Amino acid sequence: MAKAVSLSLAVLLLLSTLAGCLSNEYKQFINYDIDEAIQYWQQYDEHQYEKRTPPTSQSVEIADNLVNNDEIFLLRYWDSYVYDEDNLNWTEDPYDDETWVFYFHSLRMVSFLMNAYELTNDTVYIEKAQWFIESWMEHNPNPYNHSGTRFAWGDHSTANRIITLTYFWDYYRDSPLFDEEFANEFLNMLNNHGIFTAQDKNYSWGINHGIYQDRALMQLAVLFPVFESSEEWLGISISRLSLHLNEDVTLTGVHKEHSTSYHYLVMGLFMSISKFANHYGISIEELDSTIYKMQEYLVLLSKADGTTPLIGDSTATNLMGIDESQIINEHLLYLISDGDRGEKIEQDSGVYEDAGVALFKNDWDVSPAIYFALFNRFHMVTKHKQCDDLSFVLTYQDTDYFVDSGKYNYDERDPYRILMRSVFAHNTIAVGDESYDIEDSNNIGTTAIEHYGITSEYSYVKASHTMYDGVKISRTVIFFDEGAVYFHDQIESDENHKYTQIFNIGQDVIIDDSNQNNVILSSMIDNSSLTLTQLNTISEFESYSGSNDPVRGWQSTTFNEVTPITTLNFLLEGNNVAFETVINLGLEIVDVDNFQDSGTNVYVITFDDNRTERIEIG
C-alpha cells in the first residue's frame, strides 16, 4: 500500500508542476543524492534533536492501539479518535476543536509510532508512520494545495511537523523499509517545509510560535545540508531567535506573554535550542544569559510545593521535573535538588518592575509558608493575556486560598473561556459589569509598578493601571511576614461608576460569610484558616459558586475542564472610592490610618496587641 501511495504522490507532484499549479516559491521536484543526505547523519555517533513526545512506558500501548484498532490518540484531553484508513482525508475534526486539529496536522501520532519503534525496533510501527506521512503529503502537497484547514500549513503545526519528520528520518534511513523513491519524495516535502518556514510572511513575530519555528528551521538547516538553502535557513533562524531574546523577555528575565506557563514553556524552548546549538557548535549570543535569568525568576515565582501559580493562560507547573543537566542557574539547582547542589538564594522575595510582578514570601524555614504574588502588566496583545492586572494569588501552608482562573481552552466563543480571560475570574477591581479590552494595543503601557520595598519584617508594592477609560485604579499592598496582608484600593474617576472588588476562593476552602465584613476561610486540607476583613463600609455583597447565569465562580486547572469555586464580590459606587481590606493569617490587623505627608503616603497600622507600624510609601 505504501508503494502505491508513493507512486500516486509522485504523479500528483509531477502533474501539479506541469500545470503550473505550484507557486514559484515551491520548486520543482528535485532528485536528491540520497547517499549524500544519509552521509551527513553518519558523521556523528549520536545526533541531538527535539522529539515532540518522549518514549515512555505508554508509548507502545498508544502505538498498538493505532496500528491494531485505528485509534488516534493525541493528548489526554480528548478520547482516541477511530479513523477509517480508506477515507482519511485530513479534514477530520471529530471534537469541533481547533486545538485537536492542530495536533492532528502536527502529526503527533507519527511521533508516538516512532517512540514505539525506538523502544522495540518493530517495523510495524515505522511502516504505519510512513503511511501517515504519505497520506498527509498526498492531501497537503504545499501551502496552496491542501485539505482546507489552516493548520495543514500553519506556522506552529508546520514547525512541529519538521521536528517529528526529523525524528522519523533518523530511524527510517537505517530501517529495513528504506525505499529510495519515498526518501526522495520525503526530502522534497521537507524542503518545502523549510521554504515555508523561512518566509517572513509565514513567521510569527513576537510570540512563542516564532520560537518553535526558529528551533525547527535551525534543526532542518543543520541536519539536512543537502538542501540548497540550508545555510541561509540557519542564518535566518539565528537572526529571528535573537529578536525573541531581545524583545520577548524583559531585561530581568520574565517572558512577556503574561503567563507563568508560557514563561516556563519558552524557557524550555530556549534550553532545547541551547542544547542543540552546543552539540553542533553553533554560537547564539545572549541565549544562555537569558536562560539564566529566566531560571532565576522561577526560583522566586515558585510556591512552597515547587509549583508555579496559575497566572494568565496557565496550568500548574512542577519545577521539580526540570532535568538538572539543563539548569545553569545555581539558585534553581538548589531549589530542585532540595539543597543538595547549587546555592541558596539570599532573598526569595522580589519585585520585577519591568515585568509588573511582585513576589512576597515569609521565612518558610521557621514559619508556616505564606506565598503572595501580584501581577500588573500589559506588554503585548496576545491570546494568552487575561484581564488580571492588579490581581493577586495567595497560598497559606498547603492551601491555595485566593486563586487565578487558569485557561480552560483557546475557543474564544466558549462562555467558560470568556470568563477565564475576564476581570471577574481574577482577584482585582472591575468597573461596572464589564472587562476592559485586552485586544487594544493602545492599552499597552498603561500599567505600572509605582513604588515597592522589601524589609526583614514586611514588603510593599503600589501598582496602578488605566485600562478602563477615564478611570485610574491603584492598589497598595503591604505584606507582613508574621502573617497579614493589607490592601488599599483607590479608584479615581470624573464619572460615577459601580466598582467591584473581586476575590476568587480556592476549591479546598470552606467559606463562612455570615458576617460579610469579616469572612472566615478555613482549609479542607490542612489546619490553616484566615479572615478576609473589610475596614470600610461596603454598599453591597455578592457570592457566586459554579454559576452559569451569570457565568461566575469557576476555575480551570486542567485543559477543557472547569471546577466550581466561590467568587466573593464587594461593591462600592461613586466617582472616587476606596476599599481597605485585610487578610489576617496569624497576625491580626485591627485598624489602619492612612494619610499623606508632603506627598508621601503614610500608613499607621495597628495590630490586636496594640502594637503599631508606620510605613511610608512614595
Grid coordinates 485591627 are at which residue?
A: 590
Amino acid identity, residue 607? F
d(CA 490, CA 537): 14
405: Cα within 13 Å, side-chain hemisphere: 33
Q: How many contiguous H segments (helices) and E segments (strands) does the chain have? A: 14, 26
Mean pLDDT over 68-81 rounds to: 96
Question: Which residues are registered as beta bridge partners of 521?
Answer: 511, 530
Those residues with Cβ within 8 angstroms of residue 555's Cβ, 6 or more apart along the chain or in another chain = 310, 403, 404, 405, 406, 425, 504, 506, 507, 562, 563, 565
* Residue-level pLDDT at 17: 46
Mean pLDDT over 288-292 rounds to: 98
Mean pLDDT over 73-94 rounds to: 96
Range of lowest pLDDT (223-237, 315-329, 338-352, 552-566): 315-329
Global pTM value: 0.91
Question: What is the sign of the dihedral through the CA atoms of 398, 401, 403 and 409?
Answer: positive
d(CA 141, CA 209): 22
* Residue-level pLDDT at 378: 87
Decide the pairing of beta strands 551-552 and 547-548: antiparallel
d(CA 15, CA 269): 40
Residue 209's alpha-carbon distances to 144, 155, 206, 212, 611, in angstroms, are 21, 7, 8, 5, 54
Residue 61's alpha-carbon distances to 82, 119, 120, 130, 318, in angstroms, are 15, 12, 12, 19, 26
The cell for 214 is: 526558529
Query: Could you report the per-residue pLDDT of 436-476, keeping only the tens digit for each?
Result: 998 888 889 899 999 999 999 999 999 999 999 999 999 99
Q: Is the pLDDT of residue 402 over 70?
A: yes
* Residue-level pLDDT at 128: 98
Query: Could you report the per-residue pLDDT of 119-133, keeping only the tens digit for each?
Result: 999 999 999 999 999
Instruction: Count CB atoms within 10 A of the CB of residue 44.
Output: 11
Mean pLDDT over 71-77 rounds to: 96
* Residue-level pLDDT at 567: 98
Domain ranges of the chain: 354-588
d(CA 361, CA 374): 12
CATH number of 354-588: 2.70.98.70
Which of 124, 130, 127, 118 shows the shortest CA–CA distance to 56?
Answer: 118
Query: Could you report the per-residue pLDDT of 410-436, keeping only the tens digit for each?
Result: 899 999 999 999 999 999 999 999 999
H helix or E strand, kind and range, residue 574: strand 566-574
Task: Check residue 27 and report its DSSP letter.
Answer: P
Query: Could you report the per-residue pLDDT of 588-598, keeping only the tens digit for each?
Result: 999 999 999 99
Q: Is the pLDDT of residue 22 over 80?
A: no
* Residue-level pLDDT at 27: 66
Query: Could you report the per-residue pLDDT of 350-390, keeping only the tens digit for each?
Result: 999 999 999 999 999 999 999 999 999 988 777 789 999 99
